[in-house]
Structure 1
């Protein structure tokens, strides 16, 4: 019996690399072209690739990603590149008759400044966070595009997983491009190496964030391939609990053995006060994340030391 053939976009990114490293991924035939082989911003190239290879399923994990500084600096790129990639892969898959697609969205799709857990039906129910609005808009449009295709023809099942914030192996640690947790790891490591007695935290550190180890998302994606029929059209993938910025710094310092102190610059932007996804659908579907914060940071720091600094 032949293996299910799956096209994975973004195979060179953090999420894609972790999916490819999952111990069960060998059960499938995975096509994971890098951008030099397949430019997702070029619709004709995407259509030609899908027509030639005829995968049974598409997993769209590609994207232009970055932290708050990158999103504020390059809003045009975060909007247009993600929009082009999303609409091209979804449209081409539909055009060549691929019936199954898993689209990876983002918790940035949800309204800003909402203190309660964010439920899937809340997409487009409020103002987006301005610091990453371009990225969020592109993700919303791609998810809605998938939804519209299913509305018009139920034989096409194009479903969206909405992960919370992620960190882990193959992350970006350069502060110019990184998200919060890898930036913390890089900053605290440098402080320890350079003998710095203090590390600066943007804001007062009380803002709360939900960061899940990316290996857990990879596990959820593999489970979604196996259990595609029971997967809801929209489903959050998250922890169901969060931590303060101060707590992320503290656990990172403990993992590294950094004994300095932290100072706060309250003039710096911090984004939303809280962003926590509801995991009710995820739990009803039968999946929960397995990595606790300390374990996840330990694995990420090990990767940082062995791969990023070499």
Structure 2
């Protein structure tokens, strides 16, 4: 049985991977940050030399929404950079043959209206609101490229998911991403019978959100086809929605009947961030969950596990 080291197993992506039906076909090692401190290179070296995984999935990271990135740029930059470099170089040194690095669509240049293809990395200015996080992700992806180029027997590749949401997401007010934050906002608004809810900006910015369970499905597809997978590969829907569209969909599912009020003083990030899924389609994989289905499942998870 293939032995896989999964970092970030307590996060949304990691939990969705471990709870996927195909996870039972592999021997997963999923240490917590207490068991394996990725910020300590010597500790990472020791862990890999002792446990000798066949495959590494690097899904750990310091993550958060726009405000969290703005408030903590040093943490987002330094810790994500160190985790990526420490793990990837330690894997190379211990002879791990295959490594899947989780990138982010924030690696792409800002203010590009068309879909973002993999060859656009480092072809323009990054979005300032999450630049530190993006730089760390770009560095890890480039490191994987360099290692694969220097060592033809090592396959170190990066997948670049679009924005994600779903079960095991963060729903707290300060660190959550947009969809879980809006679900919480509407649940409170329904309970308090609020006449309106705020939307940051004019709501015309467009985003691509994929249900996290679909990403887990992709991970297992990619493990089975890793040798032919491109060096860098976008994983998303290939289409996007406006922020206003997301609010309308979530309002309908949560039963909110009020109106929206746009707060033009708030940061909104990039105007559009849609990834090009041409290579993904050629690779033979497609997401399964549409927006309404995914939001409904996430809302139910919030009610069952968070509100209780």
Q: Provide TM-score, normalisation by structure 2.
A: 0.99
In structure 2, how many angstroms separate the alpha carbons of the residues matched to 1:27 and 1:88?
Answer: 28
- Aligned position for 2:307: 309
How far apart are the structure 2 equivalents of 1:156 and 1:218? Answer: 23
Match of 2:57 in 1: 59
> What's 1:274 paired with?
272
Measured after TM superposition, the shift of residue 293 of structure 1 is 0.2
Distance in 1 separating the partners of 2:163 and 2:36? 27
Name the CA distance, whole Å, in 1 between partners of 2:79 and 2:255: 40
Residue matched to 1:291: 289
How many Å separate the matches in 2 of 1:253 and 1:225? Answer: 37
Distance in 1 (alpha carbons) for counterparts of 2:95 and 2:213:
31
Q: 1:253 maps to what in 2?
A: 251
Deviations 1:262-284 (A, max 9, x none): 11111211111100000000000
User: Using the alignment, how far apart are the partners of 1:234 and 1:202 within structure 2?
Assistant: 32
String of CA shifts for 1:17-68, please: whole Å, max 9, x gaps. Answer: 0000110111000000011111111111111011010000000000000000
Which segments of structure 1 move beyond 6 Å, counting only runs of 4 or more? none
Match of 1:173 in 2: 171
1:74 aligned onto 2:43: no
Aligned-pair distance for 1:134?
0.2
Is 2:94 the partner of 1:123? no
Size of the alignment, in residue pairs? 308
Please give the secondary structure, in 2, of the residue aligned with 1:241: coil
Distance in 2 (alpha carbons) for counterparts of 1:158 and 1:14: 23
CA distance in 2, matches of 1:143, 1:123: 10
Residue 43 of structure 1 corresponds to 41
Matched with 1:6 is: 4
Deviations 1:78-99 (A, max 9, x none): 0001001100110100000001
**Of 166-175 and 63-72, the range deviating more from structure 2:** 166-175
For 1:54 and 1:309, the matched residues in 2 are separated by 41
1:180 is displaced (CA, Å) by 1.0
Compute the displacement of 1:175 (Å): 2.1
Q: How does 1:146-157 map to 2 (within 5 A)?
A: 146-157=144-155
The equivalent residue for 1:136 is 134
Q: Which runs of 5+ in 1 are unaligned?
A: none
1:162 alignment partner in structure 2: 160
Distance in 2 (alpha carbons) for counterparts of 1:125 and 1:181: 29
Task: Give, in angstroms, the shift of residue 154 of structure 1.
Answer: 1.0
Q: Secondary structure at the match of 1:212?
A: strand
Query: Aligned with 2:21: secondary structure?
Result: coil
Within 2, Cα distance between the matches of 1:261 and 1:243? 19
Shift of 1:204: 0.7
Tell me the distance in 2 between the aligned counterparts of 1:146 and 1:248. 35
How far apart are 1:14 and its partner, in Å? 0.3
2: CA distance, partners of 1:179 / 1:113: 20
Q: Which runs of 5+ in 2 are unaligned?
A: none
- Provide, for residues 185-205 of structure 1, a one-character-per-residue CA deviation record: whole Å limited to 9, x for no partner: 111111011111100101110
Post-superposition offset of 1:9: 0.4
Please state whether the residue corresponding to 1:24 is helix, strand or coil.
helix
Give distance in 2, aligned partners of 1:60 and 1:268: 33
1:72 deviation in Å? 0.2
TM-score using structure 1 length: 0.98
What SS does the aligned partner of 2:159 have?
A: strand
